[in-house]
Amino acid sequence: MMNQKFDRLLSAIRNEQVDDKVVAQAGERVWSSIAGSPTVDISTQKLRSCEDFQALIPGYLGKQLPGPRALLFEDHVHTCVGCRHALERTRDGQLQAVWRPELKRPRFPFWRWAVAATAVVAVAFATLALSMGIFPGQHVVHGAVQNVDGSLYAVIGDNVRMIPAGYEIRSGDEIRTAKGSSAVVRLLDGSLVEMGERADISLSRAWNGTTIHLDGGQVIVQAAKQRTGRLYVATDDCLVSVKGTIFSVNRGIKGSRVAVIEGVVRVDYGVRTTELRAGDEATSSANVSKVPIQNEIAWSRNAAKYLALLGDFAVLQKQFAAIPGPGLRYSSDLLPYLPDNTVVYAAIPNLANTLEEATRLFQDRLQQSPALRNWWRQQQKGSSPKLADVLDHMKTFSSYLGDEIVFAAGKTGTTYTAPIVLARVRQPGLEAFLQSESRRLSSDQSQPALQMVHDPGAVTPAPNHPLLVYLTDDLLIASPDAVELQRAAMRARQGNGSAFAQTPFYQQIARAYQQGAGWLFCADMEQIVVQNVHVGSSSNDLPPGIGDVRYLTMEHREVSGKTENQAALTFASQRQGVASWLAAPASMGSLEFVSPEASMVTSAVIKNPRSIMEEVFQMAGSGDANFAQHVAEFEAKTGVNVLDDITAPLGGEVTMAFDGPVLPTPRWKLILEVYDPSTLQATMAKLVDSFNREGNAQGHSLQLATRKVGSQTYYVISSPNHANSEVDYTFVDSYLIAAPDLGTISRAIQARQAGYALTHSPAFQALLPSDGYTNFSAIFYHNLGPVVEPIAEQLKSSGALTPQQRQSIDALTANSAPGLIYAYGEPDRIVVASNTGFMGFDLGTLLTMGDNGPFLPQMLLGRALSSPAHQTQ
């Protein structure tokens, strides 16, 4: 029956007579597009050809393009010669030159060969461009629909039609999934794009790679290894670029969220650029928060595979964290060789034994997990460095060195000197190894990555600024700058040390060693920011209180089998301004409303909110002469005084938690300490009334209702425009509790009354550090177990999991241990610490070391340290 209906539908479409007027109108639209209609809004139109990009040139030169669109334009112009020339001509005010053939014969026969060669090049260029589909008006296929679950539509011009699996996607096609539908698109390079419900994508291709334009919804991309160029996902506020990985991009009204399942992803948000690794997330707006990555991928048909892979990673990360680290060091005999003006110091332990054990654990897990083996086989494809090779080179390099490797950089005036690297040498053969590594890492043998130095006083660096390496019987000295190398070598020969030993910064480093050092990073912030704190300096753009900073110290150590990570920001005097907003450690009663099942909790005690707001007003007013007027206008419209009516009623505690059922919607709750509930409630009513007065013209409004449940009064803010969205809140004792529904608030109140709180749970108590404090200034608690378990159970009940996938998902649930990061606000410093993790090196970091990621030999032998921008002569 369904086939007959479908045949009748096709027949009706095939026999439909199109009115001549409709055809004429379509022709006019095509001609308008070809002629370049001036009514097109270049800030929102899709960019599919060089004509589209060249239409943006006036707006780009006038600095009128939005940040993400300007970023796409610059990326295209960087790789497209024609558009780059068009930009240069427009910038110079020149018209495009028109070539006209001359009828007279050329003076020399050579020109005939030149014209013929030019014609050959033009034909080759045109052939390549045609094959890539980048000429205007081309509709070359960029991918095909692999499968569809539900309904999938193609929007071509003004036409919308349902498309089946096998449909070929061309330039100009816009593909949309319907409600409750999903689809998988395979690109020509083998990449897979899984579309969630109501997702909207289109494809384009340029010299630098293929771009997936995501106009809305969510996609999960399994990017194939790119032979040339990159694969891009572009939204209107971010650009994601990869060479080969698995990641998710979620685009909505409030902004975009990018989450990485495997590999490395680069994300550009306007002028901000960040690299994300497995398990990391980033958002384009403060209005979009991070969520557990398991939630972000739960809708995918491949969720079982992804969760299985994450389960294997979780097992490995737990095993890696359990590897005994190198012993603590209580002094360093390399400190005397540092430059007199050192402002940055880093020391890392020799990791030879740790890397060997990590390699063994990885190989064991590889034999046990089919999911991990499949992922590993994909990683071995391509020409990029392989993880096994990277680890092998690291182990060999480490075997030549002593207990630690030291990095240091100095500063003279406002100029940073080139860094130096110091390490003890404990066995011969290091020079031969470094020379072989240089040949392996250098694509151009005439410009090696490093240069061995036997006489520092007579060294002549190569033009490409290689890393200069000087070896004595027991010491390695390396620097990209000859002068710094010579000075360090002289200090080593004289053996009497440098004047750095007399500085307070030296004493700060020495104190860190006295407590036992593992990984150590110290920065003399007083010298680094000195140009910003001169009295009367026009460059004083630091927030109040930050100019008083003195030292930054970051440490990682293992004591009695436990990991300790700590970062301390020390100030020259008692904390002031922004630095003082974090209050001293105090009791956090708001945590009593959070249950032990919470997946993520952030809580802090802060300085008086009114004082903070006054400082914010002062900072904003110093940068905007009209700020006070804007505040006055807001207060006049709303009838609300910001300081008296909003901040004055608040106390010093704030807690945000994801606490409750994860599916279908994560439950959040916000708890604020409130000293004057009646004033704050009157303020809320005034703000809602003001919003309704301003928003009525646009059809937007809010409703503030009161509900009585027993003896408790609840307030509900809702909008007729969003029927399923509301914010509920109530006042209990001295706290305001807000949540998306009354049930969440009611359960929080009952949990507090019953003493069923996170802070009383064994899991939380086991994470507490042993120190002299009884309270914290701030905490961040995470426990993915409650998040993973319902998703895993849902997948298990579907019966679609293989035994190996069930085993890996069980491992993910079992190894999703909770973690705690905590902070102390001391009178003259802020300390942030954690007793979980591996010094920030999570499994994603370790597994991507071979995919253009940094690792020690490459950092030492590569050209990152030899950038001319860091040279001083």
pLDDT digit string (tens) for 429-454? Answer: 888 888 887 777 665 556 677 888 88
CB 481 within 8 A of CB 465: no
pLDDT for the residue 320:
63
User: What pLDDT, on a 0 to 100 scale, did the predictor assign at position 559?
Assistant: 73
Q: CA-CA-CA-CA torsion for 858, 863, 865, 871, nearest 10 degrees?
A: 170
What is the per-residue pLDDT for 871? 38
The backbone region for 101, taken as left when phi is positive above 0, alpha when psi lies in -120 to 50, beta otherwise, is: beta
Contact 850, 384 (CB under 8 A): yes
DSSP string, 22-64: HHHHHHHHHHHHHHT-TTS-TTTS---SHHHHHTTHHHHHTT-
pLDDT of residue 66: 77
Number of Cβ atoms within 10 Å of the Cβ of 826: 17
Q: Each residue of 209-241: b (16+ CB within 10 Å) or e?
A: bbbbbbeebbbbbbbbbbeebbbbbbbbbbbbb
- 571's CB contacts (< 8 A; 6+ apart) are 545, 548, 549, 550, 579, 828, 829
Terminal CA-to-CA distance of the chain, rounded, Å?
84
Question: What count of Cα atoms within 13 Å lies in the side-chain half-sphere of residue 182?
Answer: 14
Q: What percentage of the chain exceeds 70 in pLDDT?
A: 70
Distance CA 461, CA 438 (A): 15
Tokens of 818: 């909770």
Q: Which residue has the tokens 């151009």?
A: 444
Q: Which residue has the higher pLDDT, 420 or 838?
A: 420
User: Where is pLDDT greater, at 279 or 726?
Assistant: 726
Q: Which of 452, 439, 360, 350 is nearest to 399 (CA)?
A: 350
Looking up tokens 């419900």, which residue turns up? Answer: 197
Return contacts of 84-91, CB within 8 angstroms, 24+ apart.
86/54, 86/57, 87/57, 87/60, 87/61, 90/57, 90/58, 90/61, 91/61
Residue 264 has pLDDT above 50, yes or no: yes
Alpha carbon 797 to chain centroid, angstroms: 34
Predicted confidence at residue 105, as pLDDT, reads 41
Give the position of tokens 């001509």.
89
Q: Determine contact, residues 671/680, Cβ cutoff 8 Å.
A: no
Type and span of the H or E element at 763: helix 762-765
E-only strand ranges, 639-711: 650-658, 668-674, 703-709
Roughly what angle, to the nearest 10 degrees, separates helices 677-695 and 627-638? 90
Q: Give the position of tokens 């409130």.
A: 674
Cα–chain center distance at 681: 38
For the ranges 230-244, 358-372, 495-509, which has the lowest average pLDDT?
A: 358-372
**In this predicted model, what pLDDT tens digit does every residue of 185-224 receive, in sequence order?**
999 888 899 999 999 999 888 766 789 999 999 999 988 8
**Mean pLDDT along residues 417-423:** 91
Rounded to 10 degrees, the C-alpha dihedral 240/243/248/249 comes to 20
Q: How far apart (Å, rounded) are the C-alpha atoms in residues 829 and 99?
A: 70
> Per the structure block, which two tokens stand in for 737?
């509790």
Q: Which pLDDT value is given to residue 177?
A: 92
DSSP H or E stretch at residue 186: strand 182-187
CA distances for 294 relative to 179, 286, 777, 789, 872, angstroms:
22, 21, 30, 10, 48
Residue with tokens 């960029």: 142
Tokens at 635, concatenated: 């207060």
Q: Contact, 598 vs 667, CB < 8 A?
A: no
Sequence-distant (≥ 6) Cβ neighbours of residue 114 within 8 angstroms: none
Taking phi over 0 as left and psi of -120 to 50 as alpha, with beta for the rest, 534 belongs to beta
What digits encode the pLDDT tens for the residues 146-197? 889 888 998 887 788 889 988 988 877 899 998 888 999 999 888 899 999 9
Is the bond preceding residue 803 a cis peptide, omega within 30 degrees? no
Cα distance between residue 692 and residue 685, in whole Å: 11
Q: What SS3 string covers 354-393?
A: HHHHHHHHHHHHHHHCHHHHHHHHHHCCCCCCCHHHHHHH
How far apart, in whole angstroms, are the C-alpha atoms of residue 320 and residue 841? Answer: 10
Question: Does 632 score more than 50 pLDDT?
Answer: yes
Residue 264's H or E segment, with its range, is strand 264-269
Supply the DSSP symbol for 4.
H
What are residue 31's phi and psi, to 5 degrees?
-65, -40
pLDDT level of residue 859 (50, 70, 90 thresholds): very low
Q: What is the pLDDT of residues 30-89, one digit of tens each?
A: 555 444 444 445 445 667 677 788 888 888 887 778 777 777 787 777 667 678 778 877
pLDDT in the model for residue 250: 92
- Pick the residue with more confidence: 609 or 380? 609
What is the length of the chain?
873
pLDDT of residue 17: 59
User: 35-41: long-range contacts at Cβ-Cβ below 8 A with a sequence spacing of 24 or more?
Assistant: none
* DSSP-assigned beta bridge partners for residue 239: 234, 268
What is the reported pLDDT for 126?
A: 42
Q: pLDDT value at position 858?
A: 34
Query: Is 47 in a helix, a strand, or coil?
Result: coil
Tokens 């030169």 sit on residue: 61
Average pLDDT score over residue span 740-761: 92
Which of 119-128, 221-230, 554-563, 821-830 shows the highest mean pLDDT? 821-830
Q: Residue with structure tokens 């096709």?
A: 10
Report d(CA 769, CA 749) in Å as an integer: 28
Query: pLDDT by residue (tens digit) across 222-236?
Result: 888 776 678 899 998
pLDDT confidence of residue 541: 64
Q: How far apart are CA 447 and CA 431, in angstroms?
A: 18
The closest of 823, 816, 861, 820 to 843, measured between CA atoms, is 816
> In DSSP terms, which residues pair with 411 in a beta bridge?
416
pLDDT digit string (tens) for 474-529? 899 999 889 999 999 888 888 766 788 889 999 999 999 988 888 899 999 988 87
Of residues 265 and 67, more confidence is placed in 265
What φ, ψ does residue 841 adopt, rounded to 5°?
Answer: -90, 85
pLDDT higher at 743 or 8 = 743
Q: At 867, is the pLDDT very low, low, confident or very high (cuts 50, 70, 90)? A: very low
CB 475 within 8 Å of CB 401:
no
Q: What pLDDT does 96 receive?
A: 42
Query: Alpha-carbon distance 350 to 406, whole Å?
Result: 11
Q: Number of helices and strands (H, E) in the chain?
A: 25, 36
Strands (E), 542-582: 549-559, 562-571
Nearest-angstrom CA–CA distance, 544 and 578: 6
Residue whose token pair is 């907003």? 581
788 token code pair: 């993973």
pLDDT value of residue 387: 56
Confidence of residue 790 (pLDDT cuts 50, 70, 90): low
Tokens of 766: 């086991």
Give the angle subtended at the CA of 493 by the CAs of 490 and 495, to the nearest 5°. Answer: 105
Q: Report the range of poorest mean pLDDT among 13-17, 808-812, 855-859.
A: 855-859
Q: What is the pLDDT confidence band of residue 664, given thresholds at 50, 70 and 90? A: low
How many CB atoms are closer than 10 A to CB 395?
17
- For the ranges 128-132, 520-524, 580-584, 774-778, the lowest mean pLDDT is seen at 128-132
* pTM (global) more than 0.75: no
- How does pLDDT run across 116-134, given as a tens digit for each residue? 444 444 444 444 444 444 4
Position with higher pLDDT, 626 vs 20: 626
SS3 331: coil
Tokens 């919308």 sit at which residue? 160
Pick the residue with more confidence: 70 or 410?
A: 410
Task: Note the pLDDT of residue 815.
Answer: 59
Q: Identify the pLDDT of residue 561.
A: 67
